[in-house]
Structure 1
Amino acid sequence: MNVTSNEPAANDRWWRHPLLWMVIAGPALVVVASFVTFWYAWDSPDPLVSADYYRRGVEINKTLADKKLMPALAGRNHAATPAEAVPLPRREAAP
């Protein structure tokens, strides 16, 4: 009677064990993915600051001043509050 086993023989070479390739595949895929990510990042850098950042910031501040928006500290957490329920901004005490 022949008894067959699913286990590999003890004298098999290391590359003949399928579980070993599953263990190697995970880190190998991570290395390949990191090279692909590096290549993509190197090929298409994003400009973070425009050359005229100061002028654009001044224009944004003028736009916000024209809309008469409340300062962030006084208006935070009131994004969904109706306009009539929004608290008034703090006034500085006169010296």
Structure 2
Amino acid sequence: MTDRPARRGWTAYVEEVPAQVMAGMPPALSTAVTNFIVALAIEAGAAIDAGKQPPGDLVDYHGARYLLHVPGEPVLLEYVAYPALRELRIPRLVWFH
């Protein structure tokens, strides 16, 4: 047994405007996007913890902002990684409908 506290997992926070876009989607699409974001937090967090680049195309010079297409869906999202908080934030989400 160790005295060190266990590290918590990574979380994803969807900002207000992307959340409104998701709320306007058909329920099946909204669920698919939600599931993708949950999986993204796990995958991106693990990559960052391992010192690797997380999924997506880097869109800034600071190595924190990424752009991704949700596979099989008409949705693009941008996320920002905050390693100190162990959090991904979704500031932009575009639904092509």
With the shorter chain as reference, the TM-score category is: under 0.3
The two structures have a TM-score, normalised by structure 2, of 0.26
Output the TM-score relative to the length of structure 1.
0.26
Structure with the bigger RCO (C-alpha within 8 Å, sep 6+) is: 2
- Point out the structure with the larger helix share: 1
Q: Which has the larger radius of gyration?
A: 1
